[in-house]
Amino acid sequence: MIVTDILRAVTVLGFLLVGITGQVWLLYFLTVVQFALSSLFTPARTAVLAMIVPEKDLVTANALDSFTWSTMLALGALLGGVVAAIFGARTAFVLDAGTYLLSALLIARIALPKRAPRSVGVGQSGWLDFVEGFKYVVGRPFLLGISLVKAGGSLVWGAINVLEVKYAEEIFALSRVGLLPNLRIEDPGTATLGLIYLISGLGTGLGPLFMRHWLGDSRRRLLQGIGVGFLFMLAGIAGLAFAPTLGIFLLFTFVRTVGSGTIWVFSAVLLQVMVPDEYRGRVFAFEFAALTLTQSMSIFVAGFAIDSLNWSAPQVMLSFAWLGVLVAVTWGVFYSINRSRPLPSSQEPTSPE
């Protein structure tokens, strides 16, 4: 994680070369490198969390992680725009690189608990380790299902990334504030999008905590919570499709993100407590790859429907609500099959079946 942060800092500084050389291809190359490095960092961070946080606090820890991610996404976009507008893009890139170095410094201060080494039963090749990790999940259908929960959710909520911009700029652009009619907003679309991100951060952070308080945090309850999360997500997306005002849109955004946040956090906790340490990072890498693929597919389909099929944003939103019904039903079948079976433990033998 430390090395990844340092490499991401170097990569971001590389964006300065785009302005100096005028080579546009370098912009795309560095963007790919940055996202590739993030694909290494994110699964590792999720895996390490289970090593430093007691099991009883994992839901809270993952909820805080989700909340800070969503909040910093909105705040970072705002501050980046302000810095770029006042001091220029080069300063913004330098500060962005500095945040990665700060992250590396903070991670370096974390003391991981010492654990007795456990034999994985494979050679030292990284490729063989990856194959063994993949075999570990495929050989355990229940864990495979849990590792695909986020992929199923992303197939639905990925399109929201496109649709939120459409709603913010064309449908609910916030040009004036009700209590301050003389205050004119210069960029109404950005203002609306900022509000949407703010509410999304609250939903993804508070939703899992509310669900934990309501359902508890036993493993069976976490499984039930994922189902409830799908219901909240569906209700939220359906409400967004018919929202007549910005206020109602924000309300259903909160409902949707309570659901998606619960799905995200509860599925992560289940994998953290059920997968042994030596496989946990590989399982989260597989999970991250799957959700990235389905999210990309969802974004592409939503963009195609709007740009090529000339569908309206509410039409696309409603279509993905129906897709969400299919995903939720699939989860319901999976849960019904497994609810009475013994749940796997991270202490089970680690040789893939």
What integer is the mean pLDDT of 108-116? Answer: 74
Domain 2-111+125-338 has CATH 1.20.1250.20: yes
Q: Are 197 and 70 in contact (CB under 8 A)?
A: yes
Q: Are 5 and 101 in contact (CB under 8 A)?
A: yes
Nearest to 291 by CA among 125, 158, 162: 158
Phi-psi region of 352 (alpha: psi -120 to 50; beta: other; left: phi over 0): beta
- Residue 90 predicted with pLDDT over 90: no
The SS3 of residue 176 is strand
d(CA 323, CA 319): 6
Nearest to 196 by CA among 167, 175, 159, 236: 167
pLDDT at position 224 is: 92
Count of Cβ atoms closer than 10 Å to residue 64 Cβ: 15
Name the band, by pLDDT with cuts 50, 70 and 90, for residue 347.
Answer: low
pLDDT at position 72 is: 76
Mean pLDDT of the chain: 83
Q: Where are the domains of the chain?
A: 2-111+125-338
Pairing status of strand 180-184 against strand 176-177 = antiparallel
Q: What share of the chain is helix, strand, coil (3-state, %, to 5)?
A: 80, 0, 20
pLDDT at position 125 is: 44
Task: Please write the tens of the pLDDT for every residue from 202-236.
Answer: 888 888 888 988 988 788 899 999 999 999 999 99
d(CA 32, CA 29): 5
pLDDT at position 63 is: 77
Top-confidence residue, 77 or 300: 300
What integer is the mean pLDDT of 143-167? Answer: 91
Q: Are 203 and 261 in contact (CB under 8 A)?
A: yes
d(CA 196, CA 28): 28
pTM score: 0.80
Q: Which two tokens stand for residue 199?
A: 């509410």
Rounded alpha-carbon distances, angstroms, from residue 262 to 92, 138, 168: 33, 25, 25
pLDDT at position 248 is: 95
The SS3 of residue 185 is coil
pLDDT at position 234 is: 95
